[in-house]
Chain A
Amino acid sequence: MNIVVLLKQTFDTEAKIVISGGKVDPTGVTLVINPYDEFAIEEALTLKEAQGEGSEITVVTAGGDVAEQALRTALAMGCDKSILVSDEALDGADEWAAAEAVAAALKDVEYDIIFAGRIAVDDASGQVAVRVAEALGIPSVSSILKFETDGTVATVTREIDGGNEIIEVPLPAMLTAQKGLNEPRLPNMMGIMKAKSKPLEKKDLAAVGKAAGDVAAKFVIDSVSLPTPREAGTILKGEAAETAPELVRLLHEEAKVI
């Protein structure tokens, strides 16, 4: 079985975000595999192990040279080969442009199933995977919590309001991973040693059959801002019985929660 995983390199979720010159400043920030994409990798590895010999996982990303790190980590976890779509024309790419570039790179890759993360934790747009599915003309199911396949059909479970729904989807299909799908493994030392000899193919836009004009972003980000800092809480001083009426008043009139 040929399995593809789409991956995005994001900031470490513990990173302190600094905005400079209207952009998020990447200086000194640790970069990691988007946590939701780790679920996708784990599901691909589990499927590969269940399928046995002959299955192969290709992990694909778009980004700068630094994204090679994320691909090497995925290879160390057990993926077999990787593709990095990297081109200056993709700087500032929006979701549509990124999806076009990735879909173009997949034209030369055989796949029976594609896994990706539900969203990336940085911009949380949740668009790229489904846009890639659209570009490839394959069905997609988002935010899956359980996955099974007989090789031709995938049976997946996703959470809906008040319960779960079970969907059968013919392969090839795009499935995006929700938290809870699995517990991603860490790469072990042997995996790390093997990673450096696994293929990492770097392709610019021309190599995937696109020109810069084909992937011009369709929207422009006007400004970026940090969330408003949380204000300090109010402490009511005095005995509980004395302060309770004031607490009720504040909850009712100011916080408006009761």
Chain B
Amino acid sequence: MTMTPSDRAERELKNLEAVAGNGLLHRRAFLRGGAALAGAMTGYTLVPSASGQQLADDAWSLVPGVTVPDYGTRSRFEKNVVRTLSNPKGEPRTQHARTPHHLLNGTFTPNGLHFVISHAGDPDIDPDKHRLVIHGLVKQPLVFTLDALARYPMVSRMAFVECGGNSAPLFSLEPIQASVQALHGLVSCAEWTGVPLSTLLDEAGIDPKAKWIVVEGGDPPHVSRSVPLAKAMDDAMIALYQNGERIMPGNGYPMRLLLPGWEGNMNTKWVRRIQLTEGPGMTFYEARTYAPVLPGGKAYRFYFIQEVKSFITHPSPGLALKGPGFYEISGIAYSGTGRIAKVMVSADGGKSWAQAALQQPVLNKAFTRFRVPWRWDGGPAVLQSRAWDEAGYEQPTRAQLVAARGETTRVPAVTGFPSQHYNAVTSWSIERGGEVKHVYA
């Protein structure tokens, strides 16, 4: 009897050893299983079938296509891949636009889908009239035009930017049923290009008494934050480009402060002024807003670092599984304290774990895509991911985080911010029909 390709695939699948409960396979199962396995795992049947459709030339291949536009946009069939807006009618308050992680793949966020928080809309800044001033405890206060900065030696780096309030709905005492976009959509990753801030501060001449910078934007609320000078001299950048083009208006056009790995609100957009000071300004956003309250009533001050975190994007709520069989579990991991060292994935609510493959290159303070092959048997499963970084930090479980940071006393609005800096494990439950739900496990 001759073996068909599908027979071979079936046999190799049966021989594959699950490395953790509920069907998690070795992260290199694709490579070990060979082409037949790869075919089976992507869901295509290899059995010659009478139901197969006879191919014919498609209409779009028989006439000339549309004229190439001067600025490209995605296919009209992708029009549903959009950010979700908190104030779609421009209501007069802070606006949020969240990244649709479940509809993207890879590691960087397209510019039109990068998350935005604007406290009074995006200012319409004329780049020729914009100025950046450095003053305070310096030998010589300086003013820079965009033209001047564009002549400086530049650096490029991938970096995630995450709102300090991202994932805040997970502080809820009960799991809120919402998409990964609603729960984790206030983080994005881009390649930023610009001038190291240390170069500009050195040119102004730093007074030895200076220990902080107070940074201000040119937006209507003139959002300001204090940053330790040590961070400013380490890896801070005045960014001019985002994924190769000028920064988007919502992300700080024509220039923003980039503080890799630190709280999004500190990465001052539309940056226009940097004052060197001995102490922090205790501005509204650091004194009041980004000061998460702890159980008992005290609050953290200067919660600058976005700590190690991961979440599964595929599958996730809204992306139902279409029957038992093979799927790739994938998601995003990142840390404000270095490169991702390891991501473990569980399909049985944390009882057993499989190590995920990390998409190379794994970059410092940037998104790392992780992937694990999985055979779903159609039964209940709870998917989790947990990340570690090169500095030795581990992503806490939800129980660990709640023990230290507390949870809410009532279910908050999904767009609300009952606290900040949630970086614990997220759990997705796979229901019998393939629906994905947010659970605590």
Verify that A and B bind, or say they do not.
no
